[in-house]
Amino acid sequence: MPTGALIEFTNISKRFGGVTAVNDLSFTVKPGRVTGFLGPNGAGKTTSLRILLGLVAASSGTATFGGVRYRDLPHPLQTVGAALEAATFHPGRSARDHLGVYAIAAGLPRTRVLEVLTQVGLAAHAAQRVGGYSLGMRQRLGLAYALLGDPGVLVLDEPINGLDPEGIRWIRGFLRDMAAEGRTVLVSSHLLSEVQQSVDDVVIIARGELIHLGPLSSLDTDAAAQTIVDSPNRDALAAALTTAGISFSIGRTGLLAATSDPALLGHLAFEAGVELSVLHRQKAGLEDSFLTLVGGGHSL
């Protein structure tokens, strides 16, 4: 089983002419966890990842895998798998041949090609020219490329863009599985909600600068959190809440109770003999604090 390496960004800056795309960015990404690299469009995520992969030269700073720069890795595809945003295929080449070219370049056995195509659910389209692929299929092919060398580190730029709901569910499980196997998983997104269910840690940037860094729960700072609760007998539930002095409003999926403690509501309902059909903490607080962090959520 491949083991993940620590990714380290150290004082990375990048200027494109007059534009500062990334400014003095430092953070680490640990193996065995899924790290969400978040920020609005234009925040500098793609640029940072391309610097990490040696595709873009940093104006200053270093980015390494276990202390080694990408271009100094003896077996790059076997160490780091990357899927970047853009569609990087020759439209006239089949998926099998596309991957075959890079399997040859990396000295990987040809059997890996069909293995990874099967893994991402494209085996049936292996011989089809990529030009006819849908956006979702291209995303999967990009992922297949990343998996080709069975690497210990995965670097994925907006992998959820363009996937259908089934694909989104699949990739979330996939990211969790990869981290559970001990790999390092760095995945970027401009939407927290897109990756919220899969990430352990978050690194948030805006305008090229680091804004926030920590476990996902560190975003959960909303003191006035709410709990959604509902019952087949909503009137009885409302009466029980009123009796207990807990204020609430009526929301789309139930009653929005002004408490951050679901257990308290469960206890109240039990005492009052009211059956519950819904009981969970309102999660919108994460997205709200994310938007606050990145500056009001403009351009999201």
Ligand X SMILES: Nc1ncnc2c1ncn2[C@@H]1O[C@H](COP(=O)(O)OP(=O)(O)O)[C@@H](O)[C@H]1O
Beta strand 7-16 with 19-29: parallel, antiparallel or unpaired?
A: antiparallel
| Alpha-carbon distances, residue 199 vs 13, 18, 188, 271 (angstroms) | 25, 34, 10, 37
Beta-bridge partners for 209: 206
Cβ closer to ligand X: 41 or 134? 41
**Is residue 71 within the footprint of another protein (CB under 8 A)?**
yes
**Is residue 65 within the footprint of another protein (CB under 8 A)?**
no
Residue 42's binding partner among Mg ion, ligand X, another protein, none (Cβ under 5 to 8 angstroms by kind) is ligand X
User: For the window 29-48, what string marks contact with Mg ion as x by the rule CB under 5 A?
Assistant: ----------------xx--
Q: In what order do the strands lie in the sheet with 201-206?
A: 80-83, 153-157, 184-189, 34-38, 201-206, 209-215
147 contacts 83 by C-beta, under 8 angstroms: no
CA 40 to chain centre: 13
Cβ closer to another protein: 91 or 297? 91
The least distance separating another protein from the CB of residue 189, rounded to whole angstroms, comes to: 19
**Is residue 42 within the footprint of another protein (CB under 8 A)?**
no
Residue 44's binding partner among ligand X, another protein, Mg ion, none (Cβ under 5 to 8 angstroms by kind) is ligand X
- What b/e string do you get for 130-165 counting C-beta neighbours within 10 Å, with b at 16 or more? beebeebbbbbbbbbbbbbbebbbbbbbbbbebbee
Residue 70's binding partner among ligand X, another protein, Mg ion, none (Cβ under 5 to 8 angstroms by kind) is another protein
**Is residue 113 within the footprint of another protein (CB under 8 A)?**
no
Subset of 121-150 contacting another protein (CB under 8 A)? 145
The least distance separating another protein from the CB of residue 244, rounded to whole angstroms, comes to: 58
**Torsions phi, psi for 230 (to 5 deg):** -150, 160
User: For the window 2-31, what string marks contact with ligand X as x by the rule CB under 6 A?
Assistant: --------------x--x-x----------
Residue 89's binding partner among Mg ion, ligand X, another protein, none (Cβ under 5 to 8 angstroms by kind) is another protein
**Is residue 57 within the footprint of another protein (CB under 8 A)?**
yes
Q: Pick from 2, 10, 30, 55: which binds another protein (CB under 8 A)?
A: 55
**Is residue 79 within the footprint of Mg ion (CB under 5 A)?**
no
Subset of 149-188 contacting another protein (CB under 8 A)? none
Subset of 40-59 contacting ligand X (CB under 6 A)? 41-47
Interface residues toward ligand X, by CB under 6 A: 16, 19, 21, 39, 41-47
